[in-house]
Each structure stands twice: as structure tokens, then as C-alpha cells.
């Protein structure tokens, strides 16, 4: 399968596992897991394609594991707009984290801070390069915001780290941001 087809399937998997499982007849468990066979049937794709998408995704958006019942299951690593409990424990963050975004929205972010919107958390990157890639996903000029994660943690804000290395927070108040 060529790269464009894998990207198309990845986007469809994101929709099915993060946002609209009902549209595909899927019922995730409380932690967001869906039997791989159910996903294959819903998206009309092969296990080989799912494995290619999971292995080839540079952001490791998906995870596949064998459940306690012996059934292979798949879920999105984070970014859900549906209720899920990813089972993440609060984790001390590095001193600095980064958020890549469109330069056009920086003034409002600097006034209001970063909010999770319809998702469970604000997504933060561990390095500038990753933040730049994330910020570039919608095109246009990219701005990298620096998050004083150490100060946030000292002030009682909690951070979580997803299986694919994305840092998560409920919000990032403007006082902790530098443009």
C-alpha cells in the first residue's frame, strides 16, 4: 500500500477510534480498546493494512496489544473526543515542553492559554522538532510555544505521558507560555 493510502486509512482509523466509533458500529471498552477483528470489518481493511498503519505512523497514534482474553485489540494512543480512560498516571514532566500551532492563533493563546477544546487534554511535545511537525499539519506559518512545565508542576498542575511520548495536561494557563 502506498503512503497516501496509508495516510487515508490512518485518518479513518482516527475517526473510528478517537471520535466517532458509533459511525462505524464500534463499541470501545472504557479504556478505548476495540477488537482488531471488529475494526477490520468496520473499515473493510486487512490485518496487514492495520499493522502497516500502526507500525508506520511516525506519531505512533495507535497501539495494538493482546488482551487478557487472548483477543488482539487496538486503540488510539490519545486525542479522543469520546469518553475513555487511558489509565495514565500523573508523571513529572521535563522542565520545558512545546506546543506547535498556527502563528495566526498565537495572540489568542497568549491571552487565554491552551485549552483542550473537545479533547480530553492539551497535547504537548517533548522537543521543538516534534512540535514543529504537529504545528505544520494544517499548513501555514508555524509558531512554537514554550511551556514552563516545571513551574506548572510546582504549582500543582498534573501532566501525563501517553504511550507514544505525547505529554498531556488539562490546560496550560497563559502565564506558563512563552512565544
Domains recognised in the chain with CATH numbers: 3-76 (1.10.10.970), 96-178 (3.20.170.30)
pTM summary value: 0.74
Question: What pLDDT is recorded for position 116?
Answer: 86
**What distance in Å separates the CA atoms of residue 98 and residue 149, rounded to the nearest whole number?**
9
- Which position has the higher pLDDT, 117 or 25? 25
Per-residue pLDDT band at 1 (split at 50, 70, 90) = confident
- With a cut of 80, say whether residue 133 has pLDDT above it: yes
CA distances 79 to 104, 129, 154, 168, Å, are 22, 20, 25, 10
Rounded mean pLDDT, 83-94: 92
Tens of pLDDT, residue by residue over 33-86, are: 999 999 999 999 999 999 999 988 767 889 999 988 999 999 998 888 898 888
Rounded mean pLDDT, 119-144: 90
CA distances 75 to 64, 99, 126, 149, 152, Å, are 7, 24, 22, 28, 29
* Residue 67 DSSP one-character state: -
Question: What pLDDT is recorded for position 60?
Answer: 80
Question: What pLDDT is recorded for position 58?
Answer: 67
Rounded mean pLDDT, 81-107: 94
Nearest to residue 169, comparing CAs of 135, 126, 128, 133? 126
Amino acid at each position: 500500500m502506498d503512503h497516501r493510502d496509508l495516510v487515508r486509512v490512518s485518518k479513518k482509523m482516527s475517526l473510528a477510534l478517537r471520535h466517532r466509533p458509533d459511525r462505524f458500529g464500534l463499541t470501545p471498552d472504557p479504556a478505548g480498546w476495540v477488537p482488531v477483528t471488529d475494526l477490520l470489518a468496520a473499515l473493510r481493511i486487512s490485518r496487514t493494512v492495520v499493522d502497516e498503519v500502526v507500525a508506520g505512523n511516525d506519531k505512533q497514534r495507535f497501539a495494538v496489544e493482546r488482551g487478557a482474553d487472548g483477543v488482539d485489540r487496538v486503540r488510539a494512543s490519545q486525542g479522543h473526543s469520546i469518553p475513555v480512560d487511558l489509565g495514565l498516571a500523573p508523571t513529572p514532566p521535563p522542565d520545558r515542553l512545546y506546543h506547535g500551532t498556527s502563528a495566526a492563533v498565537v495572540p489568542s493563546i497568549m491571552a487565554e492559554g491552551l485549552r483542550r477544546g473537545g479533547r480530553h487534554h492539551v497535547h504537548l511535545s517533548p522537543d521543538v522538532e516534534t512540535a514543529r511537525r504537529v504545528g505544520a499539519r494544517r499548513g501555514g506559518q508555524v509558531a512554537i510555544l514554550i511551556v514552563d512545565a516545571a513551574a506548572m508542576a510546582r504549582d500543582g498542575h498534573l501532566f501525563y505521558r501517553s504511550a507514544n511520548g505525547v505529554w498531556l495536561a488539562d490546560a496550560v494557563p497563559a502565564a506558563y507560555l512563552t512565544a
